[in-house]
Structure 1
């Protein structure tokens, strides 16, 4: 299973949740399969969906699901100790680990080699770290949302992309409708 299939399968689970989605193809896939005002699509700033998601969780009480990729997390490893030291039980970080920089041509990441992001998150002090396979993503995310406990999920899948249209929403519109969903 590739990342787009995971995202498509998660759309019903994430309906109505505050979702901060990783730059590039993951945001485009989320927009294609399940656009909703409570989705914040990253159109820039690689590596920051986990940081923005944590900040949003710290600022209010609704559940926040940040969807990130292994390549993005590797570009901002400082986010994992920050998450570990700012526990917020309304925060879920889903790292879709396909072992590649999927949005830029599927170049391999170190997470596809020797580096275990689950081990890195645990070493940083994250207490509830779950590694799963792609076919387990829906049940693992459902359980994480229901647990009301901060959870870091590393979902392993294979590399690959589907053709997706670009997001035509203006960034100002994305921000505005997302802010309205946060305030609702």
Structure 2
């Protein structure tokens, strides 16, 4: 499976949650598959979805799911020890690990070689770290939500991007409708 197929599979699970989605193509894919006011689409800040999601989880009680990528996590490795040391039981970091920088042309990342993001997360002190295959994502995600404990889920999948339209919604509108959804 590629990332867009995973997003299509888990869209019904995401619908009732606050979602912060990684920059570029992942946000475009989620927006095209199932746009919701509870989805915050990152349009230009690589590596910060996990940090923004953690801050959101620490500041309010609703479940926050961050959809991030291996490339973005690798550009902000400081996020994993921050997550480990600031536990928010309403926070789930789902790293879709396709072994590539998907939004910039599918250049390979080191997770396709020796680097294990699940291993890095555990070494940073994160608890409830699960590595799963793409086909198991929905089941693993639902169990994490039901547990009401912070999780880091590393989803191993194939590299590739679906052809999706660019998000034409103004970033100010995205932010406003998301903030209204957080308040609701």
How high is the TM-score relative to the length of structure 2? Answer: 0.99
What does residue 11 of structure 1 align with?
A: 11
Distance between the aligned counterparts of 1:26 and 1:160, measured in 2? 11
1:29 and 2:26 are equivalent in the alignment: no
1-side partners of 2:127 and 2:64: how far apart?
Answer: 18
Q: Distance in 2 between matches of 1:51 and 1:61?
A: 17
Question: What is the match of residue 129 of structure 2?
Answer: 129
For structure 2, which runs of at least 5 residues remain unmatched after alignment?
none
2:147 corresponding residue in structure 1: 147
Q: Secondary structure at the residue paired with 1:135?
A: helix
1:95 paired with 2:95, answer yes
Q: Encode CA deviations 1:2-37: one digit per residue, 9 max, x unaligned.
A: 011001111000012100000011000000001000
Q: Could you tell which deviates more after superposition, 87-96 or 7-16?
A: 7-16
Once superposed, what is the RMSD of the aligned Cα atoms? 0.4
Give the drift of 1:161. Answer: 1.1
- Supply the distance in 2 between the matched residues of 1:16 and 1:126 (Cα, whole angstroms): 25
1:58 aligns with 2:58: yes
Deviation per CA, 1:71-116, whole angstroms, max 9, x where unpaired? 0000000000000000010000000000000111100000111000
Question: Which residue pairs with 1:44 in the alignment?
Answer: 44
Q: Would you identify which runs of 4 or more consecutive aligned residues in structure 1 move more than 2 Å?
A: none
Q: How many residues are paired up?
A: 184
5+ unaligned residues in a row in structure 1: which ranges? none
